[in-house]
Amino acid sequence: MTKIMIQGTGSSVGKSIIVSALCRIFKQDGYSVCPFKSQNMSLNSYITLDGKEMGRAQVLQAYAAGLQPEAYMNPILLKPTSDKKCQIIVNGKVYGNSTAMEYHNMKLEFRDMLRDHFKKLEENFDIIVMEGAGSPAEINLRDRDIVNMGMAEIADAPVLLAGDIDKGGVFASLAGTMLFFNEEEKRRVKGTIINKFRGDIDILKPGLKMLEDVIKVPCLGVIPHFNLALEDEDAAVQFNKKVTAPIDIAVVKLPHISNFTDLDALKSEDDVSVRFITSVEEFGNPDLLIIPGSKNTIEDLIKIRKCGLESCIKKYSKTGIVIGVCGGYQMLGKTISDPYKTETDVGGADGIGLLDIETVFDREKVTTRVKAVSDMDFPFIDKNGSLEKKKLNVYGYEIHMGICKYGINAGPLFEFTEKNRKKVHMKDGAVNTAQNVFGTYIHGVFDAVDFREYILNRIRQNKGLSYKKSKIYENLREGEIEKLAHIVRRSLDIDKIYAIMGIK
């Protein structure tokens, strides 16, 4: 067993995507490989087959390694609820809520757990590809670090340091990061990677040589800037604001927006544009409006109410299609109550009132993988362009603390048929009587072909566009991972990386 760790000069330099690429490259070369990030801060999370919660970045890395995502790949997940507070997920389950200082003081408690996790991984995989977080040169956090050099020490892992040249100042950021390492940490860094390069590599080469002379560490390659339909690090997501395709989907960018990876399958459609809005001026006249998940539903609802977006949503709902997912679903209801203050000190709020449901937050979080079928027959455009009635099959996962009660003017949108691989018969979501306002707790609802195809073809029909079959999203993702591995393999000195890991 061997390992390698990718650290970066800062957030969003491409650590997650480089780890994904290396996982696929090592898998292609015949090794059993596993991704590992000891601590992730993200509002994009995922539920494993056994009902545990983990960060989305490690999900993509798991797929790249040919594995099912497991919580041990990301033992600690921090989900911010405000600027100074977060929910702590440990080994896939809620550990508690804390302030930033409280968590900083408790980090040392997790070192033994992380060491034990890593030993088990060493016994089961040929190669472990580790990922750091943010910058390893945060000297005020160094004494309690468990994700960058602190984790590298626990695992005794060699480190490759990545920098983003697209931001500018990559040489200074790499050299500056090395400057703040102690001598032992400097010895652990075995190479640098320049990421997101545009231009003529021959112009860059003299700078690479000068950098090596300064920091005494070789550059292992330059990865070009590329555009692939893959999830990147959370902070690297570009929240597009422009309409770039015939179908205009507007998404309310909530202050505490979570699980916006739910939209990736929609982005993969050739004639679909997904843009994010934060104000009345940006609303426009979309073909579909989506209110996504939130880690602080009540406070986010209050904020979109104050900025005037709620009025726009109500007006739009008279003629347009509105879909709420998880927190967005709760907002579409009549009331939201938080009697135990699980998300916020605000006890409750009136909802937007487009769905006849009422939500109450419970103490326990629901985390399940699900399969479901539409609770009613939907008008569906077949391949000949004619209408037929059919039920829609969907799949995804739940992450919520709310329990919804139906009123007389709301019917369930889906019926769960399976939860965490157990057969069930339970209601999910809601639809209004006009069947143009939908809500669901299912994250990833657009990944399934049926619901995505139904919604988009309904829009195409309204706009006089041709019917289109939607592609299987998982197949698209697999093809993009292969492209990623090809780009990175030809850009980095993979033989040198194998040598650093002790593999000939």
Pick the catalytic residue from 117, 256, 400, 443: 443
Alpha carbons 441 and 325: distance in angstroms, whole number: 6
Pick the catalytic residue from 23, 219, 312, 326: 326
Count the neighbouring beta carbons within 10 Å of the beta carbon of residue 109.
10
DSSP 8-state symbol, 377: P
Q: Collapsing DSSP states into helix, strand and coil, what is residue 48?
A: coil
Alpha carbons 366 and 51: distance in angstroms, whole number: 9
HEC string of 106-148? HHHHHHHHHHHHHHHHHHHCCEEEEECCCCCCCCCCHHHCCCC
Q: Collapsing DSSP states into helix, strand and coil, what is residue 60?
A: helix
Alpha carbons 58 and 79: distance in angstroms, whole number: 15
Q: Collapsing DSSP states into helix, strand and coil, what is residue 464?
A: coil
DSSP 295-315: SSHHHHHHHHHHTTHHHHHHH
Contact status, residue 47 vs residue 368, Cβ threshold 8 Å: yes
Is residue 443 among the annotated active site residues? Answer: yes
Alpha carbons 4 and 11: distance in angstroms, whole number: 19
Task: Tell me which amino acid residue 411 is.
Answer: G
Half-sphere exposure of 453 (CA within 13 A, CB side): 22
DSSP 8-state symbol, 492: B
Is residue 225 among the annotated active site residues? Answer: no
Q: Collapsing DSSP states into helix, strand and coil, what is residue 356?
A: coil
- Give catalytic residue positions: 326, 443
